[in-house]
């Protein structure tokens, strides 16, 4: 599937899709802000953050899917196509390595240029013990699926129609995606934006979100599970 095919799935006028998109964004940011307010600094443990995030991401996923189905659009419009599942998984694993290395190099250059960043994941994003490790796997799977459907599937579908350009959709969608990672500092936000753009391009190339989901999962798995174990604090 190419970008033309993706746009063909969208139904409704540009104005109606803009209104729907703005409404969706107006739902996202207050909900995220409310979740952050409910989490007091003293309560920021991996378990509380993971459970809150799982609930939040599940709600956003349900809203995105609900809006698409309400318009009578197929789930394929969100990149939920699994006909070549194992091939897409293989592409995800294959493409993850260059994306990971490129992201690491970009963040290093940005920090060298003076932008702030994290030397290690925040303590509330580091699982400890077998129970939290199991929760971490559920957390990472939910985040990879939900964020790809919301930020690549839904936002690209709407932004492409509203902006009239797949390039503009990728840029704006990646910026919105990056803004949700402000805790990672300036270098981290820019790097996350670049990662989001790569995931979007892979999605537009493959026509399925399976490969981006795999790449997203592996990126977070290395950062949240593997690296803290390899370099104990």
pLDDT in tens, 133-150: 999 999 999 999 999 999
What pLDDT is stored for residue 232 in this prediction?
Answer: 59
Token pair belonging to 66: 């609900």
Higher pLDDT, 120 or 84: 84
Predicted local distance difference test score (pLDDT) of residue 83: 80
What tokens appear for 76 in the block? 């394929």
How many other C-beta atoms can be found within 10 angstroms of the C-beta atom of residue 93? 13
Q: Is the pLDDT of residue 129 over 70?
A: yes
**Is residue 174 over pLDDT 90?**
yes
Q: How does DSSP classify residue 152?
A: I
The C-alpha atoms of residue 132 and residue 210 are separated, in whole angstroms, by: 26
Give me the mean pLDDT over the 173-199 stretch. 90
Give CA 59 to chain center in angstroms. Answer: 14
Task: Name, of 1-10, 24-33, 58-67, the range with top average pLDDT.
Answer: 58-67
> For the chain, what is the mean pLDDT?
87
Residues 172-199 have a mean pLDDT of 91
Q: Where are the domains of the chain?
A: 3-230
| 58 pLDDT above the threshold of 90 | yes
pLDDT higher than threshold 80 for residue 186: yes
- The pLDDT score that the predictor gives to residue 194 is 98
Q: Can you tell me the distance from the alpha carbon of 217 to that of 139, in angstroms, rounded to the nearest whole number?
A: 10
pLDDT value at residue 41: 57
Query: CA 160, CA 77: separation in Å to the nearest integer?
Result: 12
Q: Residues, the chain, total?
A: 233
Residue 128 has pLDDT above 80, yes or no: yes
The first and second tokens of residue 1, run together, are 């599937």
pTM > 0.85? yes
Predicted confidence at residue 180, as pLDDT, reads 78
Tell me what percent of the residues of the chain surpass a pLDDT of 90. 59
pLDDT digit string, tens, across residues 1-13: 444 455 556 666 7
């Amino acid at each position: 599937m190419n970008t033309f095919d993706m746009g063909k799935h969208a139904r409704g006028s540009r104005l109606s899709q803009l209104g729907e998109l703005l409404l969706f964004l107006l739902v996202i940011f207050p909900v995220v802000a409310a979740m952050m307010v409910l989490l007091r600094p003293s309560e920021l443990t991996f378990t509380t953050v993971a459970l809150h995030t799982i609930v939040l991401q599940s709600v956003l996923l349900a809203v995105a899917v609900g809006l698409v189905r309400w318009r009578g659009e197929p789930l394929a419009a969100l990149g939920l196509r699994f006909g070549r599942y194992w091939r897409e998984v293989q592409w995800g694993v294959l493409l993850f390595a260059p994306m990971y290395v490129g992201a690491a190099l970009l963040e290093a250059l940005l920090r060298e240029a003076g932008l702030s960043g994290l030397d290690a994941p925040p303590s509330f994003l580091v699982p400890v013990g077998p129970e939290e490790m199991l929760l971490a796997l559920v957390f990472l799977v939910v985040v990879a699926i939900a964020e790809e459907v919301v930020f690549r599937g839904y936002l690209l579908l709407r932004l492409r129609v509203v902006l009239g350009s797949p390039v503009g959709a990728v840029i704006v969608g990646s910026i919105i995606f990056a803004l949700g990672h402000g805790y990672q500092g300036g270098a981290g936000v820019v790097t996350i934006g670049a990662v989001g753009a790569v995931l979007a391009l892979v999605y537009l190339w493959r026509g399925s979100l399976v490969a981006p989901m795999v790449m997203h999962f592996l990126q977070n798995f290395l950062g949240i599970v593997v690296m803290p174990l390899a370099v104990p604090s």
